[in-house]
Copies of this chain bind each other. A is one copy, B any other.
């Protein structure tokens, strides 16, 4: 009835009010069966009344835990101006939800290559484990990842699953995804399929997509033309430029497989800009199925990575590591999503 006010109540305050010891309060608030149900309820009631919440610093100090997961996004841009990879951003929401469901908070951190992120988070007890997004490039990160392992830090990477690789990985079967994309274009009668994307060893995920693409071509007895392969990093402008480059080189092609939706969107813009119709003249397929893929015009056919499932997998894995359960790296199956940009729908295509 009389609402008890108090600035910063502690468990000791509650103990005093409830007429029990602080130890009992601590137990009661954690729902310990050691405390009689009646007492427990009474204590919890008082806590609620006082707007009391366990001091996480104190609890963490005692238990050596933080109940927090650090989400490290590799900040490719390096600068303060650029946008973060939207694919990772949209993953973030699902990760946060999944973590909350398991009682973990999520700390985000944009990391640059020069940063000393490799140990700090866990060593400082800010986080119990790390989720790494954008670190698919193992060549660059090898030493840092090794340092993480050496420091006994718990971490999970979103990226290609590679054997003999330190740490645990959740990733998408990129090769299969690239295969599906190319096979679909071939099934539509397309034969000259341009490939847009970076395939250096620095980008193993994109390289895998390329490998899948090649595999599909060979399976269909279509001879790949090196002139149709253009390197392009993951930016809309670069997708645009890649197509400009193909056109300037006088290459003829009837389809484009872009290693990323972002690149695909740039490619479409360049095509339309050059008076080439999509999908009538050129079919376009992207990769990722990012939120806007369905909403650009024409709606983008793409290879979906189920980011919700991915997020759940990442959180499951890191929580598993934290709670010392066995965890395995897993490869998720991508899925072709057919929309308008490839021309398979609505019979809009060349008849």
Please give the residue numbers on chain A whose beta carbons come within 8 Å of chain B beta carbons, in ascending order.
7-8, 51-58, 60-61, 66, 68, 75, 80-81, 83-84, 86, 89-90, 92-94, 96-97, 100, 105-110, 119-120, 123-126, 151-152, 236, 265-266, 268-269, 272, 291-292, 294-297, 299, 308
Docked-complex contact B57 and A123, CB < 8 angstroms: no
Docked-complex contact B107 and A105, CB < 8 angstroms: yes
Chain B residues within 8 Å of A265, by CB:
292, 295-296
Known interface pairs A51-B151, A90-B84; A105-B126 also in contact (CB < 8 Å): yes
Chain B's closest residue to A124 (CB) is: B53
- A284: min CB distance to chain B, Å: 12
- A290: min CB distance to chain B, Å: 9
Chain B residues within 8 Å of A68, by CB:
107
Chain B's closest residue to A291 (CB) is: B83
Q: A8-B123, A86-B89, A106-B109 are in contact. List 11 more A-B contacts (CB 8 A).
A: A56-B125, A83-B90, A84-B90, A86-B90, A100-B109, A100-B110, A105-B109, A106-B107, A107-B107, A265-B296, A292-B296
- A335: min CB distance to chain B, Å: 16
Docked-complex contact A56 and B97, CB < 8 angstroms: no
Known interface pairs A106-B107, A119-B53; A93-B100 also in contact (CB < 8 Å): no
- A185: min CB distance to chain B, Å: 21
Docked-complex contact A106 and B105, CB < 8 angstroms: no
Chain B residues within 8 Å of A236, by CB:
294-295
Chain B residues within 8 Å of A124, by CB:
53-56
Give A217 to B126 CA distance when docked, in angstroms: 54
Chain B residues within 8 Å of A297, by CB:
268-269, 272, 296-297
Give A342 to B152 CA distance when docked, in angstroms: 56
* 26 CB-based A-B contacts, threshold 8 Å: A7-B152, A53-B124, A54-B124, A56-B57, A56-B125, A56-B126, A57-B57, A57-B61, A57-B66, A80-B97, A80-B308, A84-B90, A86-B89, A89-B89, A89-B92, A92-B108, A96-B108, A105-B109, A106-B107, A107-B108, A236-B295, A265-B295, A265-B296, A268-B297, A292-B292, A292-B296
Chain B's closest residue to A126 (CB) is: B56
